[in-house]
Amino acid sequence: KSELVSLDDYESRLDRTRVWAREWHFRIGVHHLRGIIDANVAGRQYAELAAACVRALWPFVVVAFGEKHGPPPGRGAVVIAMGSLGAEKLNATSDLDLIVVYDADGVETSEVRRPLATRSYYARLTQALVTAISAPTAEGRLYEVDMRLRPSGRQGPVATALSAFKTYQETEAWTWEHLALTRARVIAGEFDIGVELTAFRSALLGKSRDRSKVLLDVAEMRARLATAKPAGSTLDVKMGPGRLQDVELFAQTGALLEGKAARTLGEQLTSAINVFGLSDEDGSALTRAAGLFWGVQSAARLISKDQLSSDATGASAEAFLLRDLNIETVFALEEEVVKTSETIAAIIDKAIGPLPSAD
């Protein structure tokens, strides 16, 4: 952020952020390729980089927008990281799941000659943030932004009032939305609102829940995902029963049922192991699987934007993948992925309920 202050105009700040992010993104990737860091460290560093970019740009987006439309009405707004960014683990090609929540504090319009209604003001400010991050400039774009995890998804307002956010989460949110909330964290904006939202999140997630309803809802989600997003190639470790997305969903379920505010996959897996009373053997298998799947996913996204396939993997990419995972051959890796996913699917089926048969 200090580098951006010295620049003269808004566009220069957007460009400088892109240059800075690209340099650090490249450095993380090179360190991973050379074995200086592993997939877990790379994932955390990619997430720290993305959060730093959003945190640095947000004040300048607010000021630039305010020059035309006045300062933010009320107390201002915060940017909430959701999904993998909230959980502090991204890969080389991850987009950013974000939500903007504001508190107008009773103020109805901005204070300028041609004021904007508060709701419109924050909606347009949010769009300005998305543009600052995702629009191509002379130095490219930073990240793609996904805001579908906001209340009511695509049908909801782009920016959500604090009071409406709280009411929605307490009275209308579906189980999957509370699962998503387990990974939420404030990364930019007004400190006081961030503190209030963080406390609200912790209190909401800490409430006791109807275990049978949560498990039924999660079982239905797993069934829909298995149908809509089946596994692709053997090395597509994200989709499919017992694979990364399934492990993450199971971990979030554990965190929700235990009433913990933990965000990271490792912490949430600990909750799942406790909540479902898994044996030491099953708990260890689950933890190892998360590491294996993330390792493959992280390496795959670093060497290719396409789905990883053993048939299309070049020699150098194959060597990196095997070295990073400490496995001797691609065939052995494929066998390990299949065996592990079957084991994990059985563990999750036993805890939550089996998926419908393909018949």
Q: Which pairing describes strands 159-161 and 145-146: parallel, antiparallel, or unpaired?
A: unpaired
Dist CA 293 CA 295 (whole Å) = 5
Q: Which amino acid is at 259?
A: G
Dist CA 159 CA 157 (whole Å) = 5
pLDDT tens, position by position, for the chain (359 residues)? 566 766 678 999 999 999 999 999 999 999 999 999 999 999 999 999 999 999 999 999 999 999 999 999 999 999 999 999 999 999 999 999 999 999 999 999 998 888 899 999 999 999 999 999 999 999 999 999 999 998 877 777 899 999 999 999 999 999 999 999 999 999 999 999 999 999 999 999 999 999 999 999 999 999 999 888 776 678 889 999 999 999 999 999 999 999 988 999 999 999 999 999 999 999 999 999 999 999 999 998 998 766 665 555 667 888 888 898 999 988 999 999 999 999 999 999 999 988 766 54
- What domains can be seen in the chain, in order of their start residue? 2-205 (3.30.460.10), 211-352 (1.20.120.330)
- Residue 321: the pLDDT is 87
Dist CA 234 CA 237 (whole Å) = 7
Token pair of 115, please?
């004021």
- Residue 228: the pLDDT is 80
- Residue 32: the pLDDT is 96
- Residue 359: the pLDDT is 46
- Residue 234: the pLDDT is 80
Helix H or strand E segment including 80: strand 76-82
Which residue, among 160, 154, 132, has the nearest Cα to 145 in the 3D structure?
132
- Residue 288: the pLDDT is 97
pTM of the model: 0.93
3-state class (DSSP) for residue 81: strand
Do 59 and 332 form a contact (C-beta atoms < 8 A)?
no
